[in-house]
Homo-oligomer: A and B are copies of this chain.
Amino acid sequence: MRKTLISLGVLMREKRFVYMDHAATTSIKPDVAESMIPFLKEYFGNPSSLYSIGREGKEAIETAREQLAKALGAKPDEIYFTSGGTESDNWAIKGTAFSRQKKGKHIITTSIEHHAVLYPCEYLEGQGFDVTYLPVDRYGLVDPAEVEAALKEDTILISVMYANNEIGTIEPIQEIGKVAKEHDVLFHTDAMQVIGAVQLDMKQKHKDVDMLSLSSHKFYGPKGIGALFLKEGTQIDNFMHGGGQERGKRAGTENVAGIVGMGKAIELATANIEEHNEIIIKMRDRLLSGVLEIPNCRLNGHPEKRLPGNLNFSFEFVEGESLLLMLDQMGICSSTGSACSSGSLETSHVLRAIGLPPEIAQGSLRLTLGDANSKEDIDYVLDVLPETVGKLRNMSPFYNPGSVCEK
């Protein structure tokens, strides 16, 4: 690798490539990519075919189904492959809604869900459904008691994400599941962010979860492939109608290579969750305390109940997109909830939901750690970030160094 010297003002330093956006997507592990290649180059038969050459594909799909089932503590029959997290969410929500509209039209979800949950809900509102978007506290926590209080006679679905992708807050899924079960309402959770970070067990710990969505590219698998866990006996409408694939529940010729890759990826991601988390948390804690030394900076999300790899900061007097782009120039990949970054007029709905005033939400920076990171990455970010924030603050009309209270 060529070494590049880069300057962001006075100091010259060696540029380093630091990927800290693992919540957005992850790289494919080499073993995962290798597992896929035979299904691109060699085994091309249609898994639905009767003759022998479709069989490698069919068998590979069933192996992947077992790998997913094992990782979730579920039965292979409860796993359905989809084209990604978005499809899984759409299916769970619309499939439940349309299948139960005679029974009721009320859905409970939260104001901090991913758009893959929020927009299907909004769409359903247009179709005559009634959706309650529960508020969260300032840490992003949903209160199970509020879920219970929101229940109506005609509630058919509760959908609460397992952990938030922006601020990392982990929700009380078991408690909410209990509420759902007690009132005989289906419970769906968007678990995109937790595979490989939280040990799942659909038979025991998560026995009250009826549907769970996951997406391969969040755990070092390929993009465009995901799954829906649909608990045995749970009947919802199909979303993708057509051929008899996936035991008649999800039509469409299977993305065999993608399914194989996801199977391998989940096996690797869940092989040693605790040890993996320990490493990530160690890096995260050092990064956290280092960043908090920058004045007028705060951590968003829950201080403890959060994903191991997630840090979400707000820097006063700084706009997030600028910060992100300057960090990118220094080789650091990050994310922000600022309005400008999304092309919309509003800052992230999650940051608004936890009550951040717009100017604080504007200065948000998400750093999500993962397999790509090392101690050296943390050092580099801690070296570059304060200077970058400083440079932008010096450009800001709101910033008055005198007014900044040193911590």
Q: Indicate whether A86 sits within 8 Å of B243 (C-beta atoms), given known contacts A50-B325, A51-B334.
A: yes
Chain B residue at minimal CB-CB distance from A333:
B51
Q: Let me know if A41 and B50 touch, CB within 8 A.
A: no
> When chains A and B are docked, how far (Å) is the Cα of A179 from the Cα of B324?
53
Which residues of chain B come closer than 8 Å to A377, judged between CB atoms? none
Q: Let me know if A44 and B25 touch, CB within 8 A.
A: yes
Q: 10 pairs across A/B with beta carbons < 8 Å?
A: A24-B48, A25-B44, A40-B222, A40-B261, A50-B328, A51-B334, A52-B328, A83-B83, A85-B252, A224-B258
Q: Let me know if A253 and B120 touch, CB within 8 A.
A: no
> When chains A and B are docked, how far (Å) is the Cα of A33 from the Cα of B256?
14
State which of A66-74, A111-119, A170-178 sits at the interface with chain B: A111-119
Q: Let me know if A87 and B51 touch, CB within 8 A.
A: no
Q: Let me know if B241 and A123 touch, CB within 8 A.
A: yes
Residue A225 interfacial (CB < 8 Å) = yes
Which residues of chain B come closer than 8 Å to A222, judged between CB atoms? 40, 255, 257
> When chains A and B are docked, how far (Å) is the Cα of A324 from the Cα of B49?
10
Residue A199 interfacial (CB < 8 Å) = no
Residue A19 interfacial (CB < 8 Å) = yes
Q: Let me know if B116 and A242 touch, CB within 8 A.
A: yes
Q: Indicate whether A51 sits within 8 Å of B328 (C-beta atoms), given known contacts A41-B30, A241-B116.
A: yes
Interface residues of A in 344-386 (CB under 8 A from B): none
For A44, A114, A225, A253, which residue has the most chain B Cβ atoms within 10 angstroms?
A253
Looking at the assembled complex, report how far the CB atom of A407 sits from the nearest CB atom of chain B, in whole angstroms.
29
Looking at the assembled complex, report how far the CB atom of A137 sits from the nearest CB atom of chain B, in whole angstroms.
25
Which residues of chain B come closer than 8 Å to A217, judged between CB atoms? 46, 253
> When chains A and B are docked, how far (Å) is the Cα of A37 from the Cα of B342?
30
> When chains A and B are docked, how far (Å) is the Cα of A90 from the Cα of B44?
25
Residue A53 interfacial (CB < 8 Å) = yes
> When chains A and B are docked, how far (Å) is the Cα of A26 from the Cα of B224?
20
Residue A6 interfacial (CB < 8 Å) = no
> When chains A and B are docked, how far (Å) is the Cα of A86 from the Cα of B240?
7
Residue A78 interfacial (CB < 8 Å) = no
Looking at the assembled complex, report how far the CB atom of A92 sits from the nearest CB atom of chain B, in whole angstroms.
12
Chain B residue at minimal CB-CB distance from A83:
B83
Which residues of chain B come closer than 8 Å to A335, judged between CB atoms? 49
Residue A127 interfacial (CB < 8 Å) = yes
Residue A210 interfacial (CB < 8 Å) = no
> When chains A and B are docked, how far (Å) is the Cα of A341 from the Cα of B114?
42
Which residues of chain B come closer than 8 Å to A341, judged between CB atoms? 50
Which residues of chain B come closer than 8 Å to A252, judged between CB atoms? 83-87, 116, 224
Residue A244 interfacial (CB < 8 Å) = yes
Q: Let me know if A242 and B50 touch, CB within 8 A.
A: no
Looking at the assembled complex, report how far the CB atom of A100 sits from the nearest CB atom of chain B, in whole angstroms.
13
Q: Chain A 38-62, CB within 8 Å of chain B: the 1/0 string?
A: 0011001110111111000000000
> When chains A and B are docked, how far (Å) is the Cα of A152 from the Cα of B334?
55
> When chains A and B are docked, how far (Å) is the Cα of A149 from the Cα of B28?
54
Q: Let me know if B251 and A119 touch, CB within 8 A.
A: yes
> When chains A and B are docked, how far (Å) is the Cα of A120 from the Cα of B243?
11
Q: Let me know if A114 and B242 touch, CB within 8 A.
A: yes
